[in-house]
Amino acid sequence: MNQLFFERQKKASMRLAEDGIFAAVIKDAEGSRNSSLRYLTGHPQDALLFIFADSDTILLPWDLNLANEKAGCSSIIPYTDYNRNYFQAAEAVLSKKITRNSRISRDSSGAAENDKLKIEVSASSSWLDVNTLRKKLPDMEIICRDNGIDAFLSSSRKIKDNSELQLYTKAAEITDNVINELEEYLQKNIFRDEKRVTEADIAMKIERLARDCNAEGTGFETIAASGGRSWAIHPWPAYSSSQVTGSGLTIIDFGIRYKGYTTDVTLTAAGKNLSDKQKEMIQLVQNAAELAEKELKPGISAGQPAQAVNIFFKSHGYAMPHSLGHGIGLDVHEAPLLKNDSENTAILEPGMVLAVEPGLYDPDAGGVRLENDFIITSSGCTRITSSRIIFPEY
Amino acid sequence: MNQLFFERQKKASMRLAEDGIFAAVIKDAEGSRNSSLRYLTGHPQDALLFIFADSDTILLPWDLNLANEKAGCSSIIPYTDYNRNYFQAAEAVLSKKITRNSRISRDSSGAAENDKLKIEVSASSSWLDVNTLRKKLPDMEIICRDNGIDAFLSSSRKIKDNSELQLYTKAAEITDNVINELEEYLQKNIFRDEKRVTEADIAMKIERLARDCNAEGTGFETIAASGGRSWAIHPWPAYSSSQVTGSGLTIIDFGIRYKGYTTDVTLTAAGKNLSDKQKEMIQLVQNAAELAEKELKPGISAGQPAQAVNIFFKSHGYAMPHSLGHGIGLDVHEAPLLKNDSENTAILEPGMVLAVEPGLYDPDAGGVRLENDFIITSSGCTRITSSRIIFPEY
Shortest Cα distance, chain A CAs vs residue B224, angstroms: 14
Shortest Cα distance, chain A CAs vs residue B44, angstroms: 8
B83, B91, B136, B82: which is closest to A341 by C-alpha?
A: B83
What is the ipTM metric for this complex?
0.90
The confidence score (pLDDT) of residue B11 equals 98
Q: Which of B128, B156, B184 is the last residue of a domain?
A: B156
What does DSSP assign to residue A113? T
Residues in chain A with CB shorter than 8 Å from the CB of B123 are 126, 128
Cα distances (angstroms) measured from residue B74 to each of A203, A256, A355, B6, B55: 36, 41, 38, 9, 9
In terms of domains, do A120 and A168 share one? no
In terms of domains, do B251 and B266 share one? yes
| Candidates B129, B200, B363; nearest CB to A211 | B200
Nearest CA in chain A to B332: A30
Shortest Cα distance, chain B CAs vs residue A306, angstroms: 16
The domain of B233 spans: 159-390
| Candidates B124, B207, B232; nearest CB to A65 | B232
Contact B208 A200 (CB under 8 A): yes
In terms of domains, do B361 and B386 share one? yes
CATH number for the domain harbouring residue A20: 3.40.350.10
Mutation target to probe the B interface, by most B beta carbons within 10 A, among A128, A130, A334 is A128
Residues in chain B with CB shorter than 8 Å from the CB of A146 are 128
CATH number for the domain harbouring residue B201: 3.90.230.10
| Candidates B45, B144, B236; nearest CB to A66 | B236
Residues in chain A with CB shorter than 8 Å from the CB of B129 are 127
Polymer length in residues for chain B: 394
In terms of domains, do A174 and A138 share one? no
Going A82 to A85 to A91 to A93, the CA torsion angle's sign is positive
- Provide the residue type at B233 as one letter: I
In terms of domains, do A139 and A189 share one? no
* Ranges of chain A whose pLDDT falls below 70: 1, 101-114
Nearest CA in chain A to B211: A241
In terms of domains, do A126 and A32 share one? yes
Residues in chain A with CB shorter than 8 Å from the CB of B121 are 127
Cα distances (angstroms) measured from residue A319 to each of A234, A250, A287: 17, 19, 14
Say how far apart CA A108 and CA B101 lie, in whole Å: 56
* Contacts with A296 (C-beta within 8 Å, 6 or more apart), sequence order: A305, A348, A354, A356, A374, A376, A380, A381
Residues in chain B with CB shorter than 8 Å from the CB of A45 are 236
Rounded to two decimals, the pTM is: 0.92
Cα distances (angstroms) measured from residue A30 to each of A33, A333, B32, B33, B333: 6, 18, 10, 11, 10
Domain count, chain A: 2
Nearest CA in chain A to B236: A66
In terms of domains, do A137 and A169 share one? no
Q: What is the CA radius of gyration of chain A?
A: 24
Q: What is the dihedral of CA A371, A45, B129, B327, to 10 degrees?
A: 110
Give buried/exposed letters for A77-104 (b at 16+ CB in 10 A, else e).
bebeebebebeebbbebbeebbeeeeee
Say how far apart CA A27 and CA A34 lie, in whole Å: 7
What does DSSP assign to residue A342? T
For residues B383 and B263, is the Cβ–Cβ distance under 8 A?
Answer: no
In terms of domains, do A248 and A335 share one? yes
Residues in chain A with CB shorter than 8 Å from the CB of B135 are none
Mutation target to probe the B interface, by most B beta carbons within 10 A, among A133, A143, A206, A211 is A211
In terms of domains, do A286 and A380 share one? yes
The confidence score (pLDDT) of residue B348 equals 98
Three-class DSSP category at A49: strand
Residues in chain A with CB shorter than 8 Å from the CB of B32 are 31-32
Shortest Cα distance, chain A CAs vs residue B211, angstroms: 6
| Candidates B45, B66, B125; nearest CB to A127 | B125
In terms of domains, do B13 and B145 share one? yes
In terms of domains, do A12 and A152 share one? yes
| Candidates B129, B214, B236; nearest CB to A63 | B236
Contact B30 A333 (CB under 8 A): yes
Contact B232 A66 (CB under 8 A): yes
Residues in chain A with CB shorter than 8 Å from the CB of B234 are 46, 62-63
Helices B149-158 and B3-18 pack at an angle, to 10 degrees, of 140
Residues in chain A with CB shorter than 8 Å from the CB of B216 are 237
For residues A351 and A375, is the Cβ–Cβ distance under 8 A?
Answer: yes
Contact B217 A237 (CB under 8 A): yes
Q: How many CB pairs under 8 A join A and B?
A: 91
Residues in chain B with CB shorter than 8 Å from the CB of A126 are 123-127
Interface residues of A toward B, Cβ cutoff 8 Å, are: 30-33, 44-46, 62-63, 65-66, 80, 121, 123-130, 144, 146, 198, 200, 204, 207-208, 211-212, 214, 216-217, 231-234, 236-237, 240-241, 321, 333, 363
In terms of domains, do A130 and A222 share one? no
* Contacts with A257 (C-beta within 8 Å, 6 or more apart), sequence order: A171, A210, A215, A216, A217, A218, A219, A263
Mutation target to probe the A interface, by most A beta carbons within 10 A, among B236, B243, B258 is B236
Contact A126 B126 (CB under 8 A): yes
* Contacts with B252 (C-beta within 8 Å, 6 or more apart), sequence order: B182, B202, B206, B222, B223, B224, B225, B266, B267, B268, B269
Q: Which of B114, B131, B156 is the last residue of a domain?
A: B156
Residues in chain B with CB shorter than 8 Å from the CB of A129 are 127
Say how far apart CA A76 and CA A65 lie, in whole Å: 11
The confidence score (pLDDT) of residue A113 equals 59
What does DSSP assign to residue B9? H
Q: Which of B112, B140, B156 is the last residue of a domain?
A: B156
Contact A144 B128 (CB under 8 A): yes
Polymer length in residues for chain A: 394
For residues A74 and A93, is the Cβ–Cβ distance under 8 A?
Answer: no
Helices A3-18 and A149-158 pack at an angle, to 10 degrees, of 140
Per-residue pLDDT in tens (0 to 9) along chain B, 394 residues: 589 999 999 999 999 999 999 999 999 998 889 999 999 999 999 999 999 999 999 999 998 988 998 999 999 999 989 988 999 999 999 999 988 765 555 556 555 556 799 999 999 999 999 999 999 999 999 999 999 999 999 999 999 999 999 999 999 999 999 999 999 999 999 999 989 999 999 999 999 999 889 999 999 999 999 988 998 888 888 998 889 989 999 999 999 999 999 999 999 999 999 999 999 999 999 999 999 999 999 999 999 999 999 999 999 999 999 999 999 999 999 999 999 988 899 999 999 999 999 999 998 999 999 999 999 999 999 999 999 999 999 8
| Candidates B65, B124, B127; nearest CB to A130 | B127
